[in-house]
Structure 1
Amino acid sequence: MKNPYESGRAWIELDLKNLEHNVKVVKSILPHDCELMAVVKGNAYGHGAVPIAFSLNALGVNAFCVATITEAIQLRESGVVGEILILGYTHPVDFPLLNRYELTQAVISYDYAKLLDSYTSNIRVHVAIDTGMHRLGVDVRDLDAILAIFNMEHLFVTGIYSHLCADTYFSELDESFTDQQVSLFAELVNTLREQDYIVKAHIIGTFGLLHCPTVGGDYARIGMALYGVFARRIDLVACPANVKPVLTLKARVMSIRTVRKGEYVGYGFAYQADRDRRIATVSIGYGDGYPRSLSYGRGDVLINGHYAPIVGRVCMDQMMVDVTHIRSVHPGDVAVLIGKNYNAEITVYDLAEQANTISTEILSRLGARLPRLCI
């Protein structure tokens, strides 16, 4: 692959020094005897699962979780080592692949456990426990079903886990419901251990680690904190961890033209110049995962340290921006869509707020045709 600096149309840069910094920060606040399990689902939240997991392996991280068996196999075939937990559904047709690639499958319900057990080859599993989210897992109060899963002939249960509902910690309900979930899960873990079912247990993710660090567990499933961002800007206020963004999104200025007063730009006559303007076409669009909802001047890019507003509609492969106020812009110049450019910056929070969503959606939608470049 050619160096994106020389010929690329659009690409993602991954700052591995910031990733290393974030790993150190996370490890410094992990509870005693709690291991970091890196969440690399959704292509590592758009960062690139393979380069991120490889880098984490080099930093001593050897436990990962993904959403699908396809994601898990991609990591294994790329040489990533350590435990890989699949948090989502795997079709029975693919059960043989679980052992072939030494993967751990989540048990998402009692019926699913029976289905896994019917495949007559021992499968390594973690049992998902529903402590109140009502998405996946066996009801925490159904001890008979949980014990039955532990005693299934072809399941090798190595862990149990649950997931906290709250993703902020600003209301009494956030706090009380989190305490309830943690208490229910801890009671179950103690009950199982009293009956000599001793397996790894985990319930905290990034939210739990930052707001309930004393909860503990054998793993902390950490995603966003590793990448130096959170779901919303407001989460930074309550975050005690000084993490740094890993991802920068860049594209090329393809061409520059003068649009005369009264002329239109792009599809649907969406933008009409109010005076003569210089318009640059930038080589990235919604086909790369950039939000189309940032059309009509809602979004900006950075060129030569200046904000250039989007004009008209974001297209599949390009967008047009107004560079009338920016001196010396040329085809081939770099446009920054997420990240810093000289003294200016566009954060993923800016995009998320402009698109009326959360940063995790913005990042996880960044497309496969964007090369990921480690710097």
Structure 2
Amino acid sequence: MLEAYSRAWCEIDYDTIEHNLKEIQKLMNKTKVMGIVKANAYGLGALPIAKTLRDLGIDYFGVSSVDEAIELREGGIQENILILGYTPPEHFSKLVEYDLVQSFLSEEYAKKLNDFAKAKDVVVRGHLKLDTGMNRIGIPFQDGHKEIEALKTIYELPYLRVEGIFSHFPVSDDLGQDARRFTKHQIELFEEAISYLKEEGIDPGLRHIQNSYGILNYGDLGFDYCRPGLLFNGMTSDDSIDTAYHLGLKPILTLKANVSLVKWIKAGESVSYGRHFVAQKPTKVATLSIGYADGLSRLVSNQGLEVLLHGKKAKLIGNICMDQCMADVTEIEGVQEGDEAVIVGEQEGNRVTIDRISRMMNTINNETLTSLASRLPRLPKK
């Protein structure tokens, strides 16, 4: 029923996720894949994508928050779920209730969790987050500032079960000499922390450090898991960035909108707010039922962004409105109300990508995807 009422929508090709996962697994050999589905699986629908990955053998998922984890649990995901970020103390009980794996972000935070667990006579599961250079969250473990004793302290807290250790790369997308030196040193620091724990007779548990670009630029490092997110969706953060390894990824997203009106305007007439487009000749204009409230940013107005209609490219004209935008279809025959315009994806052999929108916005595909509004239905590809 929902599809029939949709003015604009996303189509998700769930079958292609298997192809993308196999591409990752070919590169990573025996390193297992943790499915990162935070931020609604980068905007494309966390639960259906997690279910698809689960059915393909993925046994560990990563999310940003306890509410995202609960959504997966209540949706039927019974596999391990790691919360990569902060859970407030008032929600500590949810970690136990839903059998979730919490990141231990600092020694103080781990002790708070331990105190809670002691008071409730329960055990809280978690992975220790090691800060090797991101300087965001985690136990500091960098040159000149290594909180070595904190590692042992957290592993030995009696009401915590530390099942793993992980860190994160800030510049794994950069193949420049300085960035590669920095990232390789992060790997060395990570391995040093693991060696220290083993020397102390402590099993570090599951080890993981590689994000999507960490996979594409460093291959199999021999840890237990890697953490791709955007790669399942068949894309990277920026198409213009080269990588050391090239996977045959295929995008799973098609973004569409209906044509609501087609009309001719005369030379000298303008289109949309601000009158930034003024026709120089008689122009056929198609109004599309998608706007910035759907995630098609107003920032890309009047920059030559093209969409597909009848398999041909049509340039958006005038400012993008909250719920609508307009395209010049003068050279495309037969465009009429009810036609499907492709904003992202393929139509009759032509393709338009999310990346061109991101470049116009001076941002990365991660942000563009996660800006897609919740009012856009996420539907299986026809």
Q: Same fold (TM over 0.5)?
A: yes
Distance 2:354 2:22 in 1: 23
Instruction: Name stretches of at least 5 consecutive residues in structure 2 with no aligned partner.
Output: none
Distance 2:370 2:86 in 1: 19
> What SS is found at the alignment partner of 1:119?
helix
CA contact (8 A) 1:298 1:310 kept: yes
Q: 2:249 aligns with which of 238, 243, 254?
A: 243
Distance 2:284 2:237 in 1: 36
Say how many residue pairs are matched: 372
CA contact (8 A) 2:175 2:243 kept: no
1:74 is displaced (CA, Å) by 0.9
> What SS is found at the alignment partner of 1:188?
helix
Distance 1:297 1:333 in 2: 24
1:85 is displaced (CA, Å) by 0.6
Distance 2:274 2:376 in 1: 27
One-letter amino acid of the counterpart of residue 104, structure 1? V
TM-score (normalizing by structure 2)? 0.94
One-letter amino acid of the counterpart of residue 361, structure 1? E
1:181 is displaced (CA, Å) by 0.4
Percent same amino acid at aligned positions?
Answer: 38
Corresponding residue for residue 28 of structure 1: 26
Distance 1:239 1:314, change over 3 A: farther
Task: Report 1:133-282 matches (<5 A).
Answer: 133-140=134-141, 141-198=146-203, 199-235=205-241, 238-282=244-288
> What SS is found at the alignment partner of 2:215?
helix
CA RMSD of the aligned region, Å?
Answer: 1.4
Q: What does the per-residue CA deviation read over 1:177-208, in whole Å, with 9 as the maximum and x for residues that have no partner?
A: 11100011011112212323211111112222
One-letter amino acid of the counterpart of residue 195, structure 1? E
> What SS is found at the alignment partner of 1:90?
coil
One-letter amino acid of the counterpart of residue 134, structure 2? M
Corresponding residue for residue 106 of structure 1: 103
1:92 is displaced (CA, Å) by 0.8
Distance 1:27 1:338 in 2: 27
1:327 is displaced (CA, Å) by 0.4
One-letter amino acid of the counterpart of residue 301, structure 1? V
Deviates more, 1:232-241 or 1:71-80: 232-241
1:42 is displaced (CA, Å) by 1.2
> What SS is found at the alignment partner of 2:314?
strand
Distance 1:40 1:193 in 2: 31
Deviates more, 1:89-98 or 1:212-221: 212-221
TM-score (normalizing by structure 1)? 0.96
1:237 is displaced (CA, Å) by 5.4
Q: 2:14 aligns with which of 12, 16, 22?
A: 16
1:168 is displaced (CA, Å) by 2.2
> What SS is found at the alignment partner of 1:222?
coil
One-letter amino acid of the counterpart of residue 125, structure 1? G
1:65 is displaced (CA, Å) by 0.3
Distance 1:196 1:226 in 2: 37
One-letter amino acid of the counterpart of residue 39, structure 1? I
Corresponding residue for residue 41 of structure 1: 38
CA contact (8 A) 2:263 2:285 kept: yes
Distance 1:7 1:304 in 2: 22
Q: 1:320 aligns with which of 318, 326, 338?
A: 326
Deviates more, 1:267-276 or 1:11-20: 267-276
Corresponding residue for residue 307 of structure 2: 301
> What SS is found at the alignment partner of 1:232?
coil
1:345 is displaced (CA, Å) by 1.0
One-letter amino acid of the counterpart of residue 221, structure 1? R
Q: 1:97 aligns with which of 94, 107, 116?
A: 94
Instruction: Name stretches of at least 5 consecutive residues in structure 1 with no aligned partner.
Output: none
CA contact (8 A) 1:287 1:316 kept: yes
One-letter amino acid of the counterpart of residue 159, structure 1? G
Q: What does the per-residue CA deviation read over 1:290-335, in whole Å, with 9 as the maximum and x for residues that have no partner?
A: 1111111431211111111111111111111111111000111000
Distance 2:251 2:242 in 1: 12
One-letter amino acid of the counterpart of residue 132, structure 2? T
Distance 1:317 1:9 in 2: 10
One-letter amino acid of the counterpart of residue 24, structure 1? K
